[in-house]
């Protein structure tokens, strides 16, 4: 499983766009990149998944450069409720792949 | 999205007793489920992979006789913490992957906070 590196913490203000970058230099050809969000005392929640280029859904965008050695989760116009820990995971998109969590990025959104 | 239900959400027990935690996939079948534990301000640590109809696979350093896992059906996995001690107090989370739309996404339970007195 490819190791991931993220900033330990980030601060932002309400209404700003937040970009969290994840490094995964050893990503394999079959690996997908998946981001999860976790609030205190809750299980993680799926945000977005991608393989290359750009993926967008109703909550976030995921930018993946051509070499796929990094990815950036973009949260548009954050609110206080986006304060959470964000995890970047890399793994093969096959049934039941083992999910190893890194340290994650603790995002704190201020008023 | 898919729903994973975890029960109980909070349990307090005396040292030496056993505690069972249930993890159910409500609207999909899961031949594999995962169990994690999480200490305050730390990331999730994978404990074991629960396999339907076969033995669980434990991560290095996790005592299989301490943390009993049973995956008797395609929608239910249980984790039993046997002879619990205060150091077993933690937040336990389960997950199940689904291949919805060919995307392998993990769906997580809400977690179980175990406090051993």
Reported as a single tens digit per residue, the pLDDT across B47-95 is: 999 998 889 999 999 999 999 999 989 999 999 999 999 999 999 999 9
- Rounded (5°) CA angle A74-A78-A81: 120
User: pLDDT digits over A34-84, tens only?
Assistant: 999 999 999 999 999 999 999 999 999 999 999 999 999 999 999 999 999
Q: Name the residue among A47, A52, A86 with its Cα closest to residue A70.
A: A52
* Per-residue pLDDT at A107: 98
* Per-residue pLDDT at B30: 87
Q: B105 to chain A, minimum CA–CA distance in Å?
A: 7
Residue A105 above 70 pLDDT?
A: yes
Cβ atoms of residues B36 and B16 within 8 Å: no
Q: Do B46 and A87 touch (CB under 8 A)?
A: no
* Per-residue pLDDT at B33: 93
User: pLDDT digits over A53-67, tens only?
Assistant: 999 999 999 999 999
Mean pLDDT computed over every residue of chain B: 92
DSSP B21-37: EEEEESSS--SEEEEEE
Q: Do B105 and A100 touch (CB under 8 A)?
A: no
Q: What is the CA radius of gyration of chain A?
A: 13
Query: Which residues of chain B does A102 touch, with a Cβ-Cβ cutoff of 8 Å?
Result: 43
């Amino acid at each position: 499983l490819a190791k991931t590196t993220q900033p330990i913490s980030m601060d932002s203000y309400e209404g700003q766009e937040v970009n969290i970058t994840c490094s995964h230099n050893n990503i394999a050809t079959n690996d997908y990149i998946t981001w999860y969000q976790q609030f205190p005392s809750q299980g993680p929640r799926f945000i977005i998944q991608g393989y290359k280029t750009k993926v967008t859904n109703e909550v976030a965008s995921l930018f993946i450069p051509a070499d796929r050695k990094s990815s950036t989760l973009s949260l548009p116009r954050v609110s206080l409720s986006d304060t959470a820990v964000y995890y970047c995971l890399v793994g093969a998109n096959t049934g039941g792949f083992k999910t190893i969590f890194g340290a994650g990025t603790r995002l704190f959104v201020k008023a | 999205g898919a729903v994973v239900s975890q029960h109980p959400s909070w349990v307090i027990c005396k040292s030496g007793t056993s505690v069972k935690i249930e993890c159910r996939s409500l609207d999909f079948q899961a031949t594999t489920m995962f169990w994690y534990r999480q200490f305050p301000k730390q990331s999730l640590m994978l404990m074991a992979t629960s396999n339907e109809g076969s033995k669980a696979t434990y991560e290095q350093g996790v005592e299989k006789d301490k943390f009993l896992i049973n995956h008797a059906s395609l929608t239910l996995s249980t984790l039993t913490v046997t002879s619990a001690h205060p150091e077993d107090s933690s937040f336990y989370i389960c997950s199940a992957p689904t291949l919805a739309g060919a995307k392998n996404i993990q769906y997580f339970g809400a977690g179980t906070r175990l406090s051993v007195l």
